[in-house]
Structure 1
Amino acid sequence: MQLYYAPGTISVAVAIALEETGLEYEAIKIDFAAKEQTGAAYAQINPKGRVPALAVDGGILTETGALLEYIADLAPDAGLRPADPLLQARLREVMFYLASTMHVNHAHKLRGSRWASERSSWKDMQKMVPQTMAASCEYISRFGLRGPFVLGSTVSLADCYLYVVCTWLEGDGVKLADFPKLQEFMTAMEQRASVRAVHTKGML
């Protein structure tokens, strides 16, 4: 497999999951500073111009949640997605919230042009980022973490996702120390070999 990623982006959640499972993959860096994601070559891989993209035997897969689920299917013994339907729903509940709400809150800081054409509107979006990201942290702290991790005592796909989102908080004007449960979660995740591996590779 080939994982197309950009450092510090949500694509690194997929790398963490791959490291957790031990599946072999090649990490291919897309240079956002050089606008490689919008170039003709990458458009052949992901016409959306975003990361992650995962090249597999059957073609190209995109969207973080879909890639995480695919990895769980390839390596069920890794336990990143529980067999219990209720726990699976809990896992997806958090991942869908991260994708639809918290990631969008974060994107308002630098990607306002996706939603509005007036620069003044972009500035308003940027001003709201600390507030909306803090609100998301409060929600995740109260309702998303059911123990040290999202599902309690075991690491799941949702934790790979949440960890990367939380690495954005300082840049978004949110103090992790204001959310002790999230801070404990980050400390626990940073002790895992998978997270240490992506840091060593310069992905985060």
Structure 2
Amino acid sequence: MKLFYANGTISIAPALALIEAGLPHSLARIDFATAEQTKPEYLALNPKGRVPALVLDDGSVLTETGALLDYIAALAPNAGLIPSAPDDAAHMRSVMYYLASTMHVAHAHKMRGSRWADSAESHADMTAKVPQTMTACASYVETECLRGDYICGDQFTIADPYLFVVCNWLADDGVTLSDFPATTAYLARMESRDSVKKIRADGML
């Protein structure tokens, strides 16, 4: 498998999951600084012009972070990346869906305003709102998402790479992390994992 990613983006979540699952894979970096994601070569692979994209051994392509994470977990059931209890699995996915539908969107308002509006004034207004909306998201993570050391208590799941990457954006989005001690401790705990150390060493995040 080959994962197409961009530094610092949500595509780092499936990269972490691939390491956690122990699955063989290669990586291909897409350079957002040169808008490589908009070039014909990449659009032929992923017409959305976004990352991640996972090319399977048969040449087919999967996109969307949550789908890739579920696929990786299914390929490596012994890694235990999905809870066996239905309520825990539902909580795990509820966090992933929240990140995709709400928190990632709030973050994107800072530099992707052109997706929703045309005027520079609208873009500036959206950017100015980001510290408030991301702080609200951080509060929700603190009180509703974390149920112990990880999202599902003691069990590390595919939702944790997702949450880890998104929470890495908080400080640059104007959120005061010290206001959220559980999240701060969670980030420190994640930094101690070998998968995160590998990603950091490779300069991907």
TM-score range, shorter-chain basis?
over 0.9
- Work out the percentage of aligned pairs sharing the same amino acid: 55
Give CA-to-partner distance per residue, 1:56-92, whole Å, 9 cap, x none: 0240000000000000000011111112211110000
- Output aligned runs, 1:94-109, within 5 Å: 94-109=95-110
Question: Alpha-carbon deviation of 1:176?
Answer: 1.4
State the match for 1:86 in structure 2: 87
Q: TM-score, normalised by structure 1?
A: 0.98
Could you tell me how far apart the structure 1 residues matched to 2:5 and 2:53 are? 7
Query: Which residue matches 2:10?
Result: 10
How far apart are residue 46 of structure 1 and its match?
0.4
How far does residue 178 in structure 1 lie from its aligned partner after superposition?
A: 1.3
Alignment of 1:12-51 (within 5 A): 12-51=12-51
1:144 maps to a residue whose letter is C
Aligned alpha-carbon RMSD (Å): 0.7
Alpha-carbon displacement from aligned partner over 1:119-171 (angstroms, at most 9, x marks no partner): 10111100110000000000011010000110001111111100000111111
SS in 2 for 1:137: helix
Q: 5 Å matches for 1:1-204?
A: 1-58=1-58, 59-204=60-205
Is the partner of 1:37 in helix, strand or coil?
Answer: helix
Question: SS of the counterpart of 1:80?
Answer: coil
Gaps of 5+ in 1: none
Q: Secondary structure at the match of 2:128?
A: helix
Note if contact 2:83-2:155 (Cα within 8 Å) is conserved in structure 1: no
Preserved CA contact (<8 Å) 2:117 2:123: yes
More displaced 10-residue stretch of structure 1: 123-132 or 82-91? 82-91
Q: Secondary structure at the match of 1:44?
A: helix
Q: Which letter does structure 2 place at the counterpart of 1:7?
A: N
How big is each residue's C-alpha offset from its partner over 1:89-136, in whole Å with a ceiling of 9 and x where there is no partner? 000000000000000000000000000011101111001100000000
Letter in 2 for 1:9: T
TM-score for the superposition, normalised by structure 2: 0.98
Q: Which AA in structure 1 matches 2:145?
A: G
Q: Structure 2: where are the runs of 5+ without partners?
A: none
Q: Distance in 1 between matches of 2:48 and 2:7?
A: 18
Runs of 4+ in 1 over 3 A off after TM superposition: none
2:139 aligns to what SS in structure 1? Answer: helix
Output the amino acid matched with 2:51: V
